[in-house]
Structure 1
């Protein structure tokens, strides 16, 4: 998208009206709030639904299988963002991609809400994966579109947007988690579907007034001939996938283990290919190529961070259910409630971080240094959680240890995630704006693809070693990134 079109979009959006930010931030804030309510509500009970016995309303899968499925599912959710970003850049535009994604997510939650077989469970997963791929990267891209590149409110705007994400994430485990674990899993999934419906209503009824032209342009549209080829290849690919599945599953070639391995390879291979394609594209300028080089170490740091943070819904969820005292101060605690801690801390701390970055202005740490701080806190969160197990052995641990671990990783998340969203919109090549945002979410996909390979090493006997190795690796990478930050900043070609 040209600079002239970007400015035309900014001019079409009312620039005051939501806490001193563009009015469009209201629409995107509440659309994403309800989408995250539905997603995190579903996620708060999904792993329990998978490994709880059928007599308790679950699917009765082995715990290790449930943990691996959870990681693979999370990886596919973010991996699908590359498809959603491409469709937005070349076919739909971000506005329509967001709308269609929300509809698919809603139907995915409805499928989960219907009691049925494991087949229906996997159908719902496919719908949610595809829908999130269309919605998630494009709503963040639209936040970037409503600000000019030099607008000093930009980072603060992303922090406010990020607070909306986490407000939905905080309420969802308390409401959906309680109903799902205490009453019925399918009732919980039904509430998640209602949440996505509310998000769609907010978006549909306020986008014209608040968002102006944001999301309406197709950044790099397909020509008529390219569209014909795209349609032909999509149909062909669908046929090939169906045929392969039909033959490989009965022959025993496509098993759960081989699928995990395949996703692990794709989690690394796809972003690598994307970096190469964007760097070599004739549509990428010399300045943009330099920024792509600067983006690579930030991407790697993000993978390491999310590999730790995303275990809050797998390893730490299991830790809450199996290793933690669930009675505290006379209160019976649901294991799902711990997943509200991360967004709860963000709700309180995000405004403080947003204020801090604005207050510091040009004196704030550079983007690479903020990333190194994020990794530092992520590593410390795993070092903290290994302590109670090492001290108490097999005894149930005080829930405050888990609270402390979630708190520390949130400090890292606020240094890295909203800053990464903002930096991605500024470092993205013009011809790949939505796809670069998809690439940012691919760092999460890569992290969870890696997690699917390593969760099998977590046992009661290896608990201390597991947390220690992963936490220590993050601390080492944090130091390395801090030392390289001046070089990375220079490659960013003026982006701060």
Structure 2
């Protein structure tokens, strides 16, 4: 008799659909709040740009630092399922609290704390859905990435429109509803999820050998994490300084109407959804021809593509001078940036999950989010330079950060291939 875990939807375990639908709504809540955050601080709370950028960077950094503790708590005590439910409940409460202006900082802290339990515990269950030799496992993270980006696409359209046109607090409230919807889906679909692994004490000799092997893995993952940190210092500007440029430097008129500034942030997840199937098809053909690209090299290529996207913005901003640039250039930027993102971000998450020591899945995935933490913190610091540099110079700086990340990933490629 087939178990629930053996049943499939769209050729993948049903549990994968439950997991990406859950995180789809979590990402709806996160992107919905993130879409409004800088605008809310500068337009409603009247914070200076430098202060708003620093708070944005600190918040996103802490939202990805708490998973380090949350992953360890999930692996050692709570279990992944309980951690997802508890963390999601705390996050939903924090999103609703965002609707009350005097509780702004408390709301940010609450969301970050809940995220610590939720974030590493959900994607770390993907690996447990597949046997070690299952060929579908390598593509699962890209499929998962498409699913959750549906939430990222809807968030600016729903939360952004509500916040921009009807009031910021309506947008924040909608984000809370999204987080609650994700919790309902996860609880309803628990029978399709992989069972929790029981913790057993390993024999002393086996444990000693495992520690030696794990030490090399951790050092290599640290190198990848440093590269990801540098990369995210550039990438995270799409939610920090780029919205400010969209507001003041982009001509958003179309047929006599003005496109809401928050709508442009739906372009990135929409492109993820539309471009991933084509990219996966191309990668499958390369693999069938024996020319599959290794994970670290694929990530390096992605960082270079993102660098090219920022070079495009630098050139457009320099040529425009004081004039606003056409919104079509912004669309071209997002197409190039998203292509690079698809090379690096799902691949990095999948690499960390693949190399995770047994029974340390949530902790290892949390280590990937540590790079997101440090990269978001770096993005906040880099964002404070927006008002001090020309737009073209700032975009070139971001391109330079992406190139440095690509160089480091290229150097790590050979030692990582020996472990894969």
Please indicate the TM-score interval, normalised by the length of the shorter structure: over 0.9
Gaps of 5+ in 2: 202-206
What are the superposed Cα offsets for residues 207-244 of structure 1, whole Å, 9 maximum, x if unpaired? 12x1141xx346589xxxxxxxxxxxxxxxxxxxxxxx
User: For residue 53 of structure 2, what is the aligned residue in structure 1?
Assistant: 67
TM-score w.r.t. length of structure 1: 0.79
The 2-side partners of 1:196 and 1:473 are apart by 33
Q: Is the 8 A contact 2:234 2:401 kept in 1?
A: no
Pairing 1:33-432 to 2, within 5 Å after superposition: 33-52=24-43, 58-114=44-100, 116-117=101-102, 120-208=103-191, 210-213=192-195, 216-217=196-197, 219=199, 282=208, 284-361=210-287, 363-432=291-360
Measured after TM superposition, the shift of residue 13 of structure 1 is 4.8
Contact 2:316/2:325, CA 8 A, preserved across alignment:
yes
> What is the CA–CA distance in structure 1 between the aligned matches of 2:378 and 2:83, rounded to whole Å?
28
- Structure 2 CA distance for partners of 1:480 and 1:94, relative to 1, 3 Å: closer
Change (3 A) 1:476 1:105: closer
Task: Provide the aligned length of Structure 1 versus Structure 2.
Answer: 412
Contact 2:231-2:405 within 8 A present in 1 as well: no
CA displacement at 1:356 relative to structure 2: 3.0
3-state SS of paired residue (2:6): coil
In the alignment, is the contact (CA less than 8 A) between 1:28 and 1:203 conserved in 2?
Answer: yes
Deviations 1:370-405 (A, max 9, x none): 011111012112111111221111211112222222
Aligned to 2:204: none
Contact 1:305 1:374 in 2 (8 A): no
Say which SS state the counterpart of residue 459 (structure 1) adopts: coil
1:18 corresponds in structure 2 to 9
Residue equivalent to 1:29: 20
Q: 1:351 to 1:181 in 2, by over 3 A?
A: same
Taking structure 1 as reference, are residues 62 and 420 closer, same or farther at Cα in structure 2, changes over 3 Å only?
A: same
**1:407 & 1:129 partners in 2: Cα distance?**
30
Deviations along 1:93-129, one digit per CA (max 9) or x if unpaired, are 1111011111011101110123x32xx0111111110
Bigger shift: residues 445-454 or 356-365: 356-365
1:289–1:105 distance in 2 versus 1, CA, 3 Å: same
Compute the displacement of 1:477 (Å).
Answer: 4.0
Instruction: Give the aligned CA root-mean-square deviation in angstroms.
Output: 2.0
Range with bigger deviation, 103-112 or 468-477: 468-477
Asked whether the equivalents of residues 386 and 464 of structure 1 are also in contact (C-alpha less than 8 Å), the reply is yes
- Do 1:90 and 1:218's aligned partners in 2 also have CA atoms closer than 8 Å? no
Do the aligned partners of 1:298 and 1:371 also contact (CA within 8 Å) in 2? no
> Could you tell me whether the CA contact under 8 Å between 1:304 and 1:375 is conserved in 2?
no
User: In the alignment, is the contact (CA less than 8 A) between 2:36 and 2:160 conserved in 1?
Assistant: yes
Q: Judging changes above 3 Å, is the alpha-carbon distance between structure 1 residues 220 and 444 closer, same or farther for their aligned structure 2 residues?
A: farther
Q: CA deviation at 1:481?
A: 3.3
- Taking the aligned partners of 1:12 and 1:438, their CA distance within structure 2 comes to 29
SS in 1 for 2:336: helix
Inter-partner Cα distance in structure 1 for 2:247 and 2:198: 46
- Which whole-Å deviations, capped at 9, do the CAs of 1:464-487 have from their partners, x for residues lacking one? 222212312422442453355234
Corresponding residue for residue 241 of structure 1: none
Q: Secondary structure at the match of 1:428?
A: coil
Compared with structure 1, are the counterparts of its residues 452 and 142 closer, same or farther at alpha carbon in structure 2 (3 Å cutoff)?
same
Structure 2 SS opposite 1:169: helix
Report how far residue 365 of structure 1 moved: 0.1
SS at match of 1:61: coil
Q: Secondary structure at the match of 1:14?
A: helix
Indicate if the aligned counterparts of 2:223 and 2:412 stay in contact, CA closer than 8 A: no
CA gap 1:137/1:12 in 2 versus in 1, 3 angstroms:
farther
Return the TM-score normalized by structure 2: 0.93
Deviation, structure 1 residue 415? 0.7
Cα drift, residue 188 of structure 1: 0.8
Q: Deviations over 1:441-465 (max 9, x none)?
A: 1111111111222222112743222
Kindly tell me: are residues 329 and 479 of structure 1, through their superposed partners in 2, closer, same or farther at Cα, counting changes over 3 Å?
farther
